[in-house]
Amino acid sequence: MADKVYTLTFAQHVPRGVAEVFGFFSRAENLETITPAFLHFKILAVTPEPIREGTLISYKLRLHGVPLRWTSEIVEWSPPHRFVDLQRRGPYKVWRHEHHFEACDGGTLITDSVSLALPLGVLGRIAYKLRVRAEVNEIFAFREKKIRELFC
């Protein structure tokens, strides 16, 4: 059976211009600001800088106490409206994160779409239903709160 790919979408509106909002998200160091502390997220390298298509971002984090290394590649880069990062190394079989920024109602609509698949077949599907979906939702709820604090 093929791996099940799940897609989660998150959206929020902020009263700031697209260029400003995209500018914030295009700086890798800001990932630490919008990531919950329980993940112990730390950027190790961004190559090359500034971020563009082909940039690799390496970081470490802890998930349930387990240290992980993760590398994402920026595979699409369309300032100031869109970029896509793809996990090249990490805990998921697939992790593709699309970031969209659209002018809307005097501000910016930020939309994140994450497509993910877990390893281990049926065990991965069970893990998604029991834990992973809720954890990803929790991470993006934190992110939404921090973005609201920063931009509203």
Euclidean distance between CA atoms 13 and 3, whole angstroms: 33
Backbone torsion region of residue 93, taken as left when φ is above 0, otherwise alpha when ψ lies between -120 and 50, otherwise beta: alpha
Range 103-112 average pLDDT: 98
Ranges of H-type helices in 4-132: 18-25, 30-33, 122-127
Euclidean distance between CA atoms 80 and 27, whole angstroms: 13
pLDDT, the chain, mean: 96
Asked if the 6-151 domain carries CATH number 3.30.530.20, the reply is: yes
Euclidean distance between CA atoms 82 and 138, whole angstroms: 23
Range 66-75 average pLDDT: 97
Range 1-14 average pLDDT: 91
| pLDDT of the residue at 3 | 80
